[in-house]
């Protein structure tokens, strides 16, 4: 199991749950890897993410994860807690590899379009650009600069990205039956 130590003195609530799960899972990966290059690559990535996390948000995320039973805690003699990733937490952390997310193609298209629209403020430009990159990498059709379309179910993947980047209030997800340039989009996805 993967674990991190936290202080009990500042138990606030937050929204970085998936990042915390991924960081905890990175701890599990460190314990399982035998390749020194892989080990140090994981350590570098975790250190980089750790520096970027706001401590108040982290405490809130941990409390939320604890309530959802994705993590458990163990008391330590020095007054700290060890946060341990549960089996459900491990499963969720493994569900999405953020760098290689894919949308599965069902055997048959249901005739519905999944539309993702976002309006991320300029001060969060990096998040906006990263979301755009994810949508393109996941195979979305770029309808407009901040509007992407996909024919297959992807609500869970979109929700994951919203939560991971704390951008829920900037993103809208729509399921539609008609789009005015459906022929062009169908050709893009090779749908009949």
Q: Split the chain (192 residues) into runs of 10 and give each run's mean pLDDT.
A: 41 47 61 64 68 67 67 77 70 65 92 96 91 94 95 90 84 94 93 84
Residue 56: per-residue pLDDT: 67
**pLDDT of res. 25:** 62
Exposed, middle or buried, 25 (CB in 10 Å: 0-12/13-18/19+)? Answer: middle
Domain-by-domain residue ranges, the chain? 3-95, 99-189
Strands (E), 8-112: 71-75, 80-85
Q: What is the pLDDT of residue 8?
A: 37
pTM comes to 0.55
Name which of 106, 93, 109, 117 is nearest 29 in CA terms.
93
Architecture of domain 99-189: 2-Layer Sandwich (3.30)
Half-sphere exposure of 8 (CA within 13 A, CB side): 10
* Burial class of 145 by CB neighbour count within 10 A (0 to 12, 13 to 18, 19+): exposed
Q: Which residues contact 109 (CB under 8 A, 6 or more apart)?
A: 151, 152, 191
Domain 3-95 architecture: Orthogonal Bundle (1.10)
Distance CA 29, CA 149 (A): 34
How many Å separate Cα 127 from the centre of its chain?
Answer: 12
Cβ 57 vs Cβ 18: under 8 Å: no
């Amino acid at each position: 199991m993967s674990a991190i130590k936290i202080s009990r003195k500042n138990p606030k609530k937050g929204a970085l749950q998936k990042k915390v799960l991924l960081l905890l899972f990175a701890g599990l990966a460190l314990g399982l890897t035998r390749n020194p290059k892989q080990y140090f690559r994981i350590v570098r990535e975790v250190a980089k993410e750790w520096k970027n996390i706001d401590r108040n948000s982290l405490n809130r995320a941990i409390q939320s994860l604890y309530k959802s039973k994705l993590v458990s805690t163990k008391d330590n003699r020095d007054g700290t807690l060890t946060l341990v990733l549960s089996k459900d937490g491990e499963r969720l952390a493994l569900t999405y590899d953020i760098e290689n997310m894919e949308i599965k193609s069902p055997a048959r298209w249901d005739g519905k379009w999944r539309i993702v629209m976002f309006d991320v403020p300029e001060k969060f430009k990096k998040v906006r650009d990263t979301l755009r990159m994810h949508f393109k990498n996941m195979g979305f059709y770029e309808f407009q600069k901040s509007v992407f379309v996909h024919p297959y179910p992807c609500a869970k993947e979109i929700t994951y990205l919203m939560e991971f980047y704390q951008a829920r209030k900037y993103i809208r997800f729509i399921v539609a039956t008609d789009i005015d340039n459906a022929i062009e989009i169908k050709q893009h996805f090779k749908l009949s």
